[in-house]
Amino acid sequence: SQQGEEDPQALSIQEGENATMNCSYKTSINNLQWYRQNSGRGLVHLILIRSNEREKHSGRLRVTLDTSKKSSSLLITASRAADTASYFCATDGDSGNTPLVFGKGTRLSVIA
C-alpha cells in the first residue's frame, strides 16, 4: 500500500524563491528519503533522514522530520531553473528488510 503522500502535487515558483514540499506517511519508519526525478530520467537520491533525527541539511536542501505527526518537509532554498523536477519521498518500515515505498511526488517548476 502507498506509504508517502507528497503535498502539494504541483508547485510553481520564481527562480530565487524557496520551495517547500511536504510528505506524510502512515506507519513507523527507520528513515525517510527524498529523491528527485528529472523529466524522462531515473530517480536520484537527495538526502536521507533517520527516524531519530529532526533536521538535516545538504547544500541548499533542508529536510525536517516529525515522527509524532508522521510527516517530513523538503525545503529547497534559492531555487534555480535546474531544480525543476518531480520530488518523491520514500520510507522504509521499521522492521528491517522492507522495500522503500514511494509517494506520488511533487512536481516543482522553477520559472527563470
Partner 1 sequence: DTAVSQTPKYLVTQMGNDKSIKCEQNLGHDTMYWYKQDSKKFLKIMFSYNNKELIINETVPNRFSPKSPDKAHLNLHINSLELGDSAVYFCASSQDYGGGRGQYFGPGTRLTVT
Q: Which residues bind partner 1 (CB under 8 A)?
A: 2, 30-31, 33, 35, 37, 40-45, 48, 86, 88, 90, 92, 96-102, 104-105, 107
**CA-to-CA distance for 80 and 14, rounded, in angstroms?**
8
CA dihedral 2, 27, 73, 61 (to 10 degrees): -90
Q: Where does 51-102 show beta strands of DSSP type E?
A: 55-58, 61-66, 71-76, 85-93, 101-102
How far is residue 36's CA from residue 105's CA, in Å, rounded to a whole number?
9
Q: Which residue's CB is nearer to partner 1, number 50 or number 80?
A: 50
Residue with cell 514540499: 21
Element of type H or E holding 9: none
The residue (of 15 and 22) whose beta carbon lies closer to partner 1 is 22
Give least dist CB 17 to partner 1, A.
Answer: 23
Q: Output the smallest distance, CB 16 to partner 1, in A.
A: 27
Closest distance to partner 1 from the beta carbon of 54 (Å): 19
Q: Please, which residue, 17 or 26, has the CB nearer to partner 1?
A: 26
Amino acid sitting at position 60: R
Q: Which is nearer to partner 1, 15 or 100 (CB)?
A: 100
Q: Give least dist CB 80 to partner 1, A.
A: 22
